[in-house]
Structure formats: structure tokens, C-alpha cells
Chain A
Amino acid sequence: MNKDIKIEINHVSKVYDTDLVETHALKDINIKIYEGDYVSISGPSGGGKSTLLSIIGLLDEASGGELKIEGKDVTSLTQDQAAEVRNTKLGFIFQSFNLIEELSVYDNVALPLTYRTDGLAAEEIDKKVTECLEKVSLSHRLDHFPNQLSGGQQQRVAIARALAADPAILLVDEPTGNLDSTTGDQVMQLLEELNAQGTTICMVTHDSRYADMARTKYQLKDGVLQVEEEQLSEAV
């Protein structure tokens, strides 16, 4: 089956240059993420996982290499072009949910849609928001505010928000980090279901149990990307 490449990373590196020392956070990273894929990147703390996810998410700039999203080179975009890509192609799910306290569940989910350059009609926004909240089973909490929800519910709202713009890929950063294990499992379950429905996911986690739920598993240690052994053997 010939699937579209959603994300393509070629020779990406990241160097933090401080006064005293040069730190190589990422070294020659190469990844291809295909449509419908479920990728996990795990590894020890400080290994470069979040840095890599930030670069893929255009939240940070690589020191070298090339990044393509749906075949389009996004290595050197202006800030507004990058914002446009984040808005239309990428869906973020953060460890700490990053919901905006003053906005209701509905408005939080609608937020990325309000940034669209093509300017969606109110009915269209309404349709999308309702659909996404249904996907995460929270359509009955439209008017609640984040502080009225449990952690798991908040993360589900964040997932709905990430889905709102029909992104090419969901970028998930430690989705269970702020949740207890039961709620964490529920969220992971939801992600799995979304992937089963065709959503491409790239997840960073330090929890090997959750990393194992992905189909493609990478380990990132000291800035170097390694494909998990079993996958390698499968490939062989």
C-alpha cells in the first residue's frame, strides 16, 4: 500500500550554543511518518524527545536539516507562514493541556478555527466543534470552563481542539504526564481509537507502556534516534 508521507525529517540537528558549551540535543535525525501512522518517540529525560517534537511542530527551529510536512518544505518559513502551517496541518496535545482558563470548552475547541485565514462561517465552526467534542465524548460539557473539568476531561478537550482543524498529524507531548493512571489509560485509549479512524499521530512519552501502544516506535537517547529492536527485526 502506497501511503502519503505526512512528515519527513532529513538530517535534522539541534545545537544549543551557550557561552561555555555546545550541546547537541539532536544529531542527524531522519524520520518519515506516513498517513495513518502512530509513532512514539520515547527515551530518557533530556534525550531530546520534546526538542524533536517542538521542531516538528514548528515551535522551535532546527540548527540544520530539512523538515517537510505533506511534502512541503517548512524548514525556513516566516513566523506567520509557520503559524498558518501550525493552524491547518498540526494538532497539538500538551502534557499540561494548555487550555485557556477564561474560555469555555466550546470556545477552547473553536479557538484554532478562529485563527484560520480563510475565515470559517460560524455554522461551520459550530459543526466542527460539535463533531470533535463528540469524538472525545464531551459534547455535554460545551459551556463548562476548564477548571470545572477533571484532568482527563481537560485532556480530552485538548484532543478535541487538536482535531478541530483536521490536521495532517497530531503531535502529542506526554499526554498522560499530568493524569493518574486510570485517566491516562482512558486518554491513550482515545488516541488509539482516533488512530484507528485514520488520524496520524506522533507521540512523545517517557512511559514505555504507552510507547508500546504505537505502531512505529523510536527511542531517542543523547540526541540520537534509534528504531526499536523488534521493529528492526520485523523490518529485516
Chain B
Amino acid sequence: MKNSTLVVKQSIKSLSRKPTLMFGVIATLGLTLGAFISVLTLAYYMFLKPLPYPDQERLVTVEYRALNAEGGVMGNAFTYPGAIEIYKNNDSFDASALMFYATSVMTSNSAQPTLATTSVTPEWFDITSAKTSLGRVFTADEGLNSHIPLAVLSHKTWQEMFNSDESVLDQSVSFNGISYKIVGVLSPDFIEPRIRADQSSTSVWLTWDQNSAMAKETWSYIDGGIVYVAKVKAGVTADIAAQQSSPRASELFNQNNVGIPFFKGWSIELIVTSLKDKVLGDSQKTVTMLVLGAFALLLIAMANITNLFISRTIEQHRKLAINAALGAKKSQLHVIFLLEATLLMLPAALFGLVIAYVGIEIMQTFFTDLLPRSNELQLNFMSVMSAFVLMIVLILTFSRVNLSMINYKELRAAIQSSGKGSGLQVSQKTRSSLMIAQIAIASIIIFATSVLFSEAYKKVNQPLGMKIDGLINVDFSHMEKHSVKWDEMAALLVETKAQIEKLPQVESVTFGESPLSSFSMWAATDVETNENYVPIGNSVDNNYFNTLDISFIEGKGFDRSELNGESNVLVVNQGFAKLLAGNDSALGKKLLVRNKEHVIVGVIDNIMVPGAENDAARLYTPMNKASQTMLIKIKDNQTLDRTDIVNIIYGIDSKLAVFEFESLAQTKYMSQFGEIVTIISTLAISLISTILAGLGLYGVLNYTTQMNKFELGTRLALGSKRKQLILFVFKNNFKSYVVGVSIATAMLIIAYLIDPNLLSQYIGFELVAIGVYTLALILAISWIACYVPLRPILNRPLVYSLKSGD
């Protein structure tokens, strides 16, 4: 068109007279496009973007896997000397770094905060090409056995705990009583690879030698804190590296554990995994589901907007007819459609980018623990390009839909026939297709989100088999823990417990680890059968089971007199009892635990701990005088702060520190955060798709009803009752419903056949129930979408429906 400015102006003016249409299109498309772009960006980071480290394709993590004589996996963590050995002697790696993840109490700070610390050998900084914004990282001579305690702060820690103080390099920081000289602050651009799913971002990097690993000389103790990262030599694959290193690791393990019957026949396998796979973990499925979910939402939105465009074209029919009569060519009409689609899609795409930005911020703030690499996420060129490409596709699609609706020849004639009988109509086929598409997509989304919701909801709400309300887990450490004797430490802890019990808000205190965070695996051997087990172990006092309200199936708990380190009694859970004695009583059975024979005196109910199997074997011994961990039960409606406890221990011994202070409810919340996020997001997606599908169906049916207003009025005039008319309209659209849900069912079956793992874990009665629920919900939406447009016809005097019907 020659005068393009004029045409643009006209289009803007024409659209601005339709604020509802503009708002509807921009909001619906912006939101769904934004959601899609943000998950697409996440998928790009997960599937395509290399890790931000040099030679990232050669970076691997190495794990130590202990197998028993039968080949069963007994543990997936290094022994300390095992890790040192590989670090010193290996042929497969160009570079390797040892790391030890810990949470440590910053004793140089009066509030005694607990920070995530990682002890590393200097190569770590080379492997990740970490740069500093202040000072330096560790040098080669500050590595293994240098015994110089140094610290490098993360940029965030420097900002938040040291107020971005430039003179920080003159300062030291103390953890667990050891003073580390600060030598550097990492650059804000440094991205730490999240190697373990439960890992918090490191606040302070410490030199390796001072790490808090226990049993540094022992080959029979595995420590989950140790992580080994390496760069394989060029041409060496992960498998080759594993094959090269495993035999020697196994040999050393056996040589050093010779004479310990428990380890007889064990072997060590080194598991070498590419760093990228390790970082991504098993979240690729989640991200694929997210992309598919967001895409499905986008499709529903597109169907909705197609409706809106169709209504708009119908509305504009006369205007278009006049244009045609005045000489507008078909191509010129196409330009009008293209222009209008562009004027709507452009702000929608921009709004979509804003939403994507917000979505990425949300992922970074809340989901770093759930979505790997979300700490790296940024709205990038790929995001903008995908928004642009989607925008172009949408513009072409919508203008094409509009163009396909009008017949240019008829359009020119329309102006001569005063509009009678020449009204633009959307074919029954188009209407049905739109309805079927929306019903099918919404059914799939609602079904899939309901399945995920139901799983997550069950996990969050399953009875724990114990009461955790009002309980706080407090873990103490001593700054000189390597030199202080246990009797002295126990006396301090007993005194601490007594003082805490005196606090007015405290109901009771019991020694023992929180059942929600205790995952220490203990070795136990059945004395009778010589069978080895690795149950979760916990040393507790005589009030532990009462405090948690854990019930006994048989036998009893511990007596106060047994809390002396001398007794040889044990309590096991039902899961362990079943392993030991099948359906018989496990009472009286003898187990070799910590080189001492113990006898089972009680069997408790299984407890449900998030992240553990419900019937995981558990074993409890009476503690020796005290325990470094206490559970504090506070009275109803009372609160207890970390500082209340810090104040108490400060009065007892200034070298005691509060290592951890967390309510069990919070622990449960944190460990079920993934499920909670699933519950919220599936609810939101389900709700959005229900609303979008509802609106979409309403759009089509509203149009159909308007088109058939005269017929419906005639039916009423001939004596049809309200119910009969509603049923008539519903029946007319029932076919679309049946076809839509059938397509959805077929697609789900195809998805199942392609990847049976997708649904296999859910198959059962519940899946049928969710299927019925989905069908019922979609039926209800369809019914409402049929009924609402009918209401004006049913409720206004009939004469209005019979007017201007032709």
C-alpha cells in the first residue's frame, strides 16, 4: 500500500476501539508466550548450552561405589584415604580437585551463622577458571598437606557478611574454631557447578587440609562430603577412566580392610560421570514436561485467539466489503489482516519477554535447588529470537486464518445485498475443530497436572508415623572437637540440656538426631546368619520415642540406666525387623553393631521420612551419656530462637557452638519443597488451562449461539422448555467433546507406548479416578460454555431472540 502510514494509523485507531480484544490477546498470549519462552530458555541451558568452564566436555566427577560380595551397592561415597590416593596417583586425568562440602559455624561472627563451606585443593579454581574480584585464589603450594588455613569468599558472602569491605584481605574468618586468612573474593560472574542436588551455594572456599571429614585415616568409613572432580586426558572417555582406575581402588580398599569380616568380598567401582550430566541430574524429564506443558498452554491460547480473530473478522465484514467494493485488492486486504495481527502480536511478544524475564527471576530465586543451572539462567539471544520467531509464526497464522474466512468475490457482492443472508459465517467444521483442539489439549494438561498433583499431594500429606509439631532440632559443635574428650563434651551437653529445659517456652528436651535429617548409615551384622545390613542409625535417649510419639509394635524403649555407653540393647523399626525376622518377632535377635553384640529389645512402627523409603531399615542405640543433637519440644503458641540457645551455651562454654537450629516442620518443608512446588505449579497450570479452555469453548459456543439465536428462539416459541433447549445445545456439541477427549486419550496412550516410564509408576485405580475426574471437569466446562451464552436467550423475553433473526 502506498500510504502505509495512513493504513497503520487506521489499524491502530480501529484496534484501540476494541480494548477488550487488545487486552484479551496481549494478556493471554503474553502470559503463555512468556511461560513458554522461560522454560525454553531453561531447556536451552539444560540441553544445548555448554557448562561455562574451559574444556567442559572433558570435566567429570568421580564417585566411589562400594559393592558387597553379591554385587549389591552398599554405599556411594569415598573413603577419605581412597580419595587422597586417586588424587595423588591416576593416569586418566590431566587435572583433578578434591572437594569437601560442609556446613560450618562461623565462630568469628557473634551470631554464629551456619554457612556452606567447601574445602578444595587449588586445582578446583583452574578447572572452573574462577576469577577473583579481589585478591587471589589458592596457589599450587597451598594444596594437599600444606596445612595453611586460607579462605576465599564468594562475592555474595563478601557483600552480605563483610559489607563489600575492600580491606577484607587483611581479615580472617573462623569456622569451628579454626582461623582462616582471607586471600580473595570471587568474581560475581563465577558460576558454581551444582554437583549435588542437595548442595547449597558455597559461601566460603577453604583450603583442603582443614576439612571436617571424620576418620581421615580409615578405609572402612565412607564420607558423603567428599567430591572428586577431574579433567580427563584428551581422548580418554569417562568409561575408560573408570576402567583404568577401578581395579586399583578396589585393591587398596581390600588391602586396607583385610581382617574386617563385614567387608569380606567387597569391591570398589569408580563411577565417572561427565560434569554436565552430573549437574543436570535426572531433571531433564522435568524440564521436558515443563516445555511440553507450556507449549500446550500456548496452543490453547492460540486456539482462543483464533476465536477472537474470527469474531473480529466477522465484525469487520461490512468494513471489508466496503473496502473491496472501493477497489481494495485481495492482497491489500491481506495487508490489513497482517498489520492488525502484527499490531497485536508485537506488544504480546514484548509482554511475553517481560513475563519470561519474571519467570526466569522466579526460577532463580525459588527453584535453584530444583532446577539445575537455574543459577546461570538469563534472558538471552535465544530467548529473544524464539519470541521473535513465535511472533512471526503467530502473525502469519492469524492473518491466514482471517484471510481463509473471507471469499473475496462474495465480499465484493456483499455490499450490494444490504447484508441480508450474506453475513460472514464460520464453517461448522472450523468451529468443531477449534472446540476439539481446545478440549483435547485441556484434557491432556488437566490429566497430566492432576497426576503430578496427586502424587506430590500424597507425599506431602502422608502421615509421618510420628509427631513433629513444635519440635526443633539443635545440633551443637565444639570448636576444639578434636582435642576435647567425650566425657567433658557430654557433661557440657547435659548441662546445656538442663538449662534449655528451664526456659519457660520449652516443654521438654530429648537427645537424639532429628528423624528427618538423620541419614547416617551404620554397619550391622546378624550374629546368627552373618548377614550384613546397612540401616540408618541413630543414638537416642530414653525420651526420644515418646517425644516424637513413635509407637512400639513390640518390646520397649531404653531406660535411663542404659544411657551409659555400656549397654547392649537396640531398638529397630518394623522395616528392619522384617528384614531380620520376616513375619516372626525380631525381639531377642542379636546384631553386631560397632564391633559389639547388641540384642533387640523393641520394635517401633515405620516412620515416613521425605526422601527415604517408608520401610527403610532403622536402628537405634542408647546414647552414651549425651548426644550433640537435641530435639527441643516447645509449648503451644511459643517460640524459641537460635539466640536463646546461643546465649545459654555462651554461659556454659564459649567454645560450644550451635551448628544447626531448625524446626522439624521447616526440615520437612525444605525436603518436600520439590513436591510443594509441584503442587502449586500443577494447580496453577491446571487452573489456567481450565480457564483458557473454558473461555475458548465459550468463545466458539457464544458465536454459534448468536448465529443460531433465531433457531433457538423459534424452538422456545414452539414450546421447548429451558432444560430441553440447554440439552439440545449440549447434545449438539457433545460430539466435539467425545472427539476431543478421545484424541487426548489416544495421545496419552501413544505417549505411554513411546515411553512407558512416563506413566507406569502411576498406573492403577488412581489413574482411572483422575481420568474420570478430567472427563467430568472437561464435561462441566463444556456444559458451562454451552449454558452461559444461552442465558440471555433463556432469560430475556423471547421476542428479542426472534427479532432480526434473518
Where the two chains meet, the residues of A that have a C-beta atom closer than 8 Å to any C-beta of B are: 51, 54, 57-61, 79-80, 83-84, 86-88, 92, 94, 96, 98, 100-101, 111-112, 115-116, 161, 165
A83 touches B714 (CB 8 A): no
Kindly state whether residue B611 has any CB partner on chain A within 8 Å.
Answer: no
Kindly state whether residue B716 has any CB partner on chain A within 8 Å.
Answer: yes
A57 is contacted by which of B717, B720, B721, B806 (Cβ under 8 Å)? Answer: B717
Q: What separation, in Å, do the CA atoms of A116 and B718 have in the docked complex?
A: 10
User: Closest residue of chain B to A53, judged by CB?
Assistant: B799
Q: What B residues does A94 contact at CB under 8 A?
A: 714, 802
Residues from 680 to 726 in B contacting A, C-beta threshold 8 Å: 710-711, 714-724
Kindly state whether residue B466 has any CB partner on chain A within 8 Å.
Answer: no
B710 touches A87 (CB 8 A): no
B711 touches A100 (CB 8 A): yes
Q: What separation, in Å, do the CA atoms of A94 and B713 have in the docked complex?
A: 12
A120 vs chain B, min Cβ distance (A): 12
Which residue, A88, A96, A98, A101, has most C-beta atoms of chain B within 10 A? Answer: A98
Kindly state whether residue B794 has any CB partner on chain A within 8 Å.
Answer: yes
A86 is contacted by which of B719, B724, B797 (Cβ under 8 Å)? Answer: B719
A92 touches B799 (CB 8 A): no
Instruction: Give the 5 A-B residue pairs with the shortest CB-CB distance, closest first.
Output: A87-B719, A59-B798, A60-B799, A98-B714, A115-B719
Q: List 5 A-B contacts (CB under 8 A).
A: A59-B797, A80-B721, A80-B722, A86-B717, A111-B718
User: Closest residue of chain B to A88, judged by CB?
Assistant: B719
Q: What B residues does A86 contact at CB under 8 A?
A: 716-719
User: Closest residue of chain A to B719, judged by CB?
Assistant: A87
Q: What A residues does B724 contact at CB under 8 A?
A: 115
A115 is contacted by which of B718, B794, B802 (Cβ under 8 Å)? Answer: B718
Q: What separation, in Å, do the CA atoms of A77 and B805 have in the docked complex?
A: 26
B713 vs chain A, min Cβ distance (A): 8
A84 touches B710 (CB 8 A): no
A99 vs chain B, min Cβ distance (A): 8
Q: What B residues does A80 contact at CB under 8 A?
A: 721-723
Given A84-B721, A86-B717, A86-B719: 19 more A-B contacts, CB < 8 Å: A54-B798, A60-B799, A79-B794, A80-B723, A83-B719, A84-B719, A86-B716, A86-B718, A87-B718, A87-B719, A96-B806, A98-B714, A98-B717, A98-B802, A101-B711, A111-B715, A112-B718, A115-B718, A115-B721
A45 vs chain B, min Cβ distance (A): 14
Q: What A residues does B794 contact at CB under 8 A?
A: 79
Residues from 239 to 272 in B contacting A, C-beta threshold 8 Å: none
Interface of B is mostly: helix
Q: What B residues does A100 contact at CB under 8 A?
A: 711, 714-715
Q: What A residues does B714 contact at CB under 8 A?
A: 94, 98, 100
Where the two chains meet, the residues of B that have a C-beta atom closer than 8 Å to any C-beta of A are: 710-711, 714-724, 794, 797-799, 802, 805-806
Q: What B residues does A111 contact at CB under 8 A?
A: 715, 718
A59 is contacted by which of B720, B723, B799 (Cβ under 8 Å)? Answer: B799
Q: What A residues does B798 contact at CB under 8 A?
A: 54, 58-60
B805 is contacted by which of A61, A79, A96 (Cβ under 8 Å)? Answer: A96
A83 is contacted by which of B721, B802, B805 (Cβ under 8 Å)? Answer: B721
B718 touches A92 (CB 8 A): yes
Q: What B residues does A96 contact at CB under 8 A?
A: 805-806
B714 vs chain A, min Cβ distance (A): 4
User: Closest residue of chain A to B710, judged by CB?
Assistant: A98
Q: What separation, in Å, do the CA atoms of A83 and B798 have in the docked complex?
A: 10
Q: What separation, in Å, do the CA atoms of A51 and B802 have in the docked complex?
A: 12
Q: What A residues does B806 contact at CB under 8 A?
A: 96
A60 touches B797 (CB 8 A): yes
Q: What separation, in Å, do the CA atoms of A96 and B797 have in the docked complex?
A: 19
A61 touches B797 (CB 8 A): yes
A54 touches B716 (CB 8 A): no
Q: What B residues does A98 contact at CB under 8 A?
A: 710-711, 714, 717, 802, 805
Q: What separation, in Å, do the CA atoms of A138 and B276 have in the docked complex?
A: 81
Q: What separation, in Å, do the CA atoms of A79 and B720 have in the docked complex?
A: 10
Q: What separation, in Å, do the CA atoms of A96 and B714 have in the docked complex?
A: 11
Q: What separation, in Å, do the CA atoms of A134 and B712 have in the docked complex?
A: 27
Q: What separation, in Å, do the CA atoms of A208 and B510 have in the docked complex?
A: 104
Q: What separation, in Å, do the CA atoms of A200 and B20 have in the docked complex?
A: 51
B707 vs chain A, min Cβ distance (A): 12
Q: Using A79-B794, A98-B710, A98-B714 as known contacts, say yes or no to A59 and B721 having CB atoms under 8 A apart.
A: no
Q: What A residues does B797 contact at CB under 8 A?
A: 54, 59-61
A96 vs chain B, min Cβ distance (A): 5
A83 touches B799 (CB 8 A): no
A161 touches B718 (CB 8 A): yes
A53 vs chain B, min Cβ distance (A): 9
Which residue, B710, B711, B718, B724, has most C-beta atoms of chain A within 10 A? Answer: B718
User: Closest residue of chain A to B724, judged by CB?
Assistant: A115
Which residue, A59, A88, A111, A112, has most C-beta atoms of chain B within 10 A? Answer: A59
B717 touches A92 (CB 8 A): yes
User: Closest residue of chain A to B714, judged by CB?
Assistant: A98
Q: What B residues does A92 contact at CB under 8 A?
A: 717-718
A59 vs chain B, min Cβ distance (A): 4
Q: What separation, in Å, do the CA atoms of A92 and B713 have in the docked complex?
A: 12
Q: What separation, in Å, do the CA atoms of A68 and B197 have in the docked complex?
A: 81
A84 vs chain B, min Cβ distance (A): 7
Q: What separation, in Å, do the CA atoms of A56 and B276 have in the docked complex?
A: 81
B791 vs chain A, min Cβ distance (A): 12
User: Closest residue of chain A to B720, judged by CB?
Assistant: A115
Q: What A residues does B711 contact at CB under 8 A?
A: 98, 100-101
Q: What B residues does A112 contact at CB under 8 A?
A: 718-719
B790 vs chain A, min Cβ distance (A): 13
Q: Using A54-B799, A61-B797 as known contacts, say yes or no to A83 and B716 having CB atoms under 8 A apart.
A: yes
User: Closest residue of chain B to A165, judged by CB?
Assistant: B719
B716 vs chain A, min Cβ distance (A): 7
Q: What separation, in Å, do the CA atoms of A87 and B802 have in the docked complex?
A: 16
Q: What B residues does A101 contact at CB under 8 A?
A: 711
Q: What B residues does A51 contact at CB under 8 A?
A: 799
Q: What separation, in Å, do the CA atoms of A161 and B714 have in the docked complex?
A: 12
Q: What separation, in Å, do the CA atoms of A79 and B791 have in the docked complex?
A: 13
Which residue, B717, B722, B806, has most C-beta atoms of chain A within 10 A? Answer: B717
B718 touches A59 (CB 8 A): no
A150 vs chain B, min Cβ distance (A): 16
Q: What separation, in Å, do the CA atoms of A161 and B718 have in the docked complex?
A: 9
Q: What B residues does A54 contact at CB under 8 A?
A: 797-799
A54 vs chain B, min Cβ distance (A): 4
User: Closest residue of chain A to B732, judged by CB?
Assistant: A102
Q: What A residues does B805 contact at CB under 8 A?
A: 96, 98
Q: What B residues does A59 contact at CB under 8 A?
A: 717, 797-799, 802
User: Closest residue of chain B to A91, judged by CB?
Assistant: B718
Q: What separation, in Å, do the CA atoms of A78 and B286 have in the docked complex?
A: 56
Q: What A residues does B722 contact at CB under 8 A?
A: 79-80, 83
Q: What separation, in Å, do the CA atoms of A87 and B794 have in the docked complex?
A: 16
Q: What separation, in Å, do the CA atoms of A83 and B717 have in the docked complex?
A: 7
Q: What separation, in Å, do the CA atoms of A111 and B721 have in the docked complex?
A: 13
User: Closest residue of chain A to B800, judged by CB?
Assistant: A60
B730 vs chain A, min Cβ distance (A): 16
A58 vs chain B, min Cβ distance (A): 8
